């Protein structure tokens, strides 16, 4: 070979190898970050305050169990967004004999109490538990067989914290006895509202939430081949399909002023966050990401939206990755996005709906 050609060949091969290495690195970074096209702000630059209740998991990436899997712990976490301090809503399945620990809950409008559902291993007895954050006292309400609940949804506070609502499914294979339950904490009065079978999916009133004034509630119901956001007037039980779109529309949450609803839709091919007026008008896409974005909730002042988005994390000393859900915040126009579970919250990931109060 001509010696004059050796140096150019070496340079060319080196450049090609360098370009391949850079390309591979970029692909890896994009793959494990999970979001491609939204510039994230530093969480310290985004003003957030109040209390956040999440169904979350703490993942210890430095430990593993006997099967080699990472150790995860799922609890109800209460986060003070001002200083990112964390407390766990304590629970023990033995404290209510035969009942399981909670997998989700909701925080009262004044931020002082948490409501969650416990049920026995046969899924036929519902227990409502009201936890006082300051005193750590629990008020366990057993309905003495008046409520049969197979798959209870997260309880929802209404009427400024005077009442708690949740869904009763008498039999998952028979929708005729399904009801929305409203329990008055002070008077202990139970009110049942029968649910129309027209907008149910396998007997489920999924992800329901009340308007602040309690006059309406919305939930995700099946119509045809898709989930839609259904609005119901509490007094008349009149139903209306707010989204009515050939796509899945889920996880509605009402804004504090009662004028807007945030929800998730896959109408553009992937779950993204949208807002609309309470009557279903003015549907606006808020998130603009290549990654799935779910579990949205409003800030107390209605100026921000909190949500979750998947991220892949490489497990130490392995070639495997762990997919987790980061907690992010953004303005209602989609700008000023920031990950908030960084720093001391870096191993805490959401795994269900979130409540945000002052």
pLDDT of residue 332: 93
pLDDT of residue 180: 81
pLDDT of residue 58: 62
| DSSP calls for 229-290 | EEEEETTT--EEES---SS-EEEEEE-TTSSEEEEEE-TTSS-EEEEEETTS-S-EE----S
The pLDDT tens digits of the residues spanning 144-178 come to: 655 555 455 678 899 888 999 887 665 544 555 56
pLDDT bracket for residue 70 (50, 70, 90): very low
Query: At residue 81, does pLDDT exceed 70?
Result: yes
| Distance of alpha carbon 105 from alpha carbon 103, whole angstroms | 7
Note the pTM of the prediction, 2 decimals: 0.78
In this predicted structure, which of 16-30, 203-217, 286-300 has the lowest mean pLDDT? Answer: 16-30
pLDDT of residue 248: 95
Give the residues across from 273 on adjacent strands: 264
Query: At residue 30, does pLDDT exceed 50?
Result: no
| Distance of alpha carbon 182 from alpha carbon 184, whole angstroms | 7
Task: With CA atoms as reference, report the closest residue to 356 among 310, 303, 311, 309.
Answer: 303
pLDDT of residue 195: 75
Q: What is the pairing mode between strands 40-41 and 337-339?
A: parallel
Q: What is the mean pLDDT of the chain?
A: 75
The pLDDT tens digits of the residues spanning 99-118 come to: 444 557 889 988 999 998 76
> 149 vs 133, which has greater pLDDT?
133
Query: At residue 205, does pLDDT exceed 60?
Result: yes
CB-based contacts of 114: which residues, under 8 Å, 6+ apart?
Answer: 53, 76, 78, 89, 105, 106, 107, 108, 130, 131, 133
The pLDDT tens digits of the residues spanning 49-60 come to: 888 888 776 655
């Amino acid at each position: 070979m001509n010696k004059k050609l050796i140096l150019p060949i070496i340079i060319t091969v080196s450049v090609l190898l360098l370009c391949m290495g850079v390309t591979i690195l970029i692909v890896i970074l994009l793959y494990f970050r999970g979001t491609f096209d939204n510039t994230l702000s530093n969480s310290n630059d985004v003003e957030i305050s109040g209390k956040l209740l999440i169904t979350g998991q703490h993942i210890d990436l430095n430990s593993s169990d006997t099967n080699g899997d990472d150790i995860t712990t799922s609890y109800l976490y209460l986060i003070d967004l001002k200083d990112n301090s964390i407390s766990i809503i304590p629970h023990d399945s033995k404290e209510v004999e035969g009942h399981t620990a909670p997998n989700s809950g909701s925080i009262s409008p004044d931020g002082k109490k948490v409501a969650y559902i416990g049920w026995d291993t046969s899924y036929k007895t519902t227990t409502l538990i009201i936890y006082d954050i300051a005193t750590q006292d629990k008020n366990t309400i057993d309905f003495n067989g008046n409520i049969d609940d197979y798959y209870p949804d997260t309880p929802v506070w209404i009427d400024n914290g005077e009442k708690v609502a949740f869904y009763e499914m008498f039999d998952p294979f028979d929708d005729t006895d399904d009801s929305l339950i409203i329990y008055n904490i002070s008077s202990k009065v139970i009110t049942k509202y029968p649910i129309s079978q027209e907008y149910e999916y396998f007997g489920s009133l999924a992800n329901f939430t009340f308007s602040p004034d309690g006059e309406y509630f919305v939930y995700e119901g099946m119509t045809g081949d898709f989930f839609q956001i259904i609005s119901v007037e509490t007094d008349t039980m009149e139903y209306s399909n707010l989204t009515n779109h050939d796509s899945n529309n889920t996880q509605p949450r009402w804004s504090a002023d009662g004028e807007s609803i945030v929800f998730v839709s896959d109408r553009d091919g992937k779950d993204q966050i949208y807002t609309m007026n309470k009557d279903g008008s003015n549907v606006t896409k808020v998130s603009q990401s290549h990654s799935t974005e779910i579990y949205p909730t409003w800030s107390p002042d209605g100026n921000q939206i909190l949500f979750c988005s998947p991220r892949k994390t490489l497990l130490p000393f392995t070639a495997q990755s762990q997919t987790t859900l980061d907690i992010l915040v953004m303005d209602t126009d989609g700008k000023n996005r920031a990950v908030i579970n960084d720093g001391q919250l870096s191993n805490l990931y959401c795994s269900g709906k979130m409540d945000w109060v002052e």
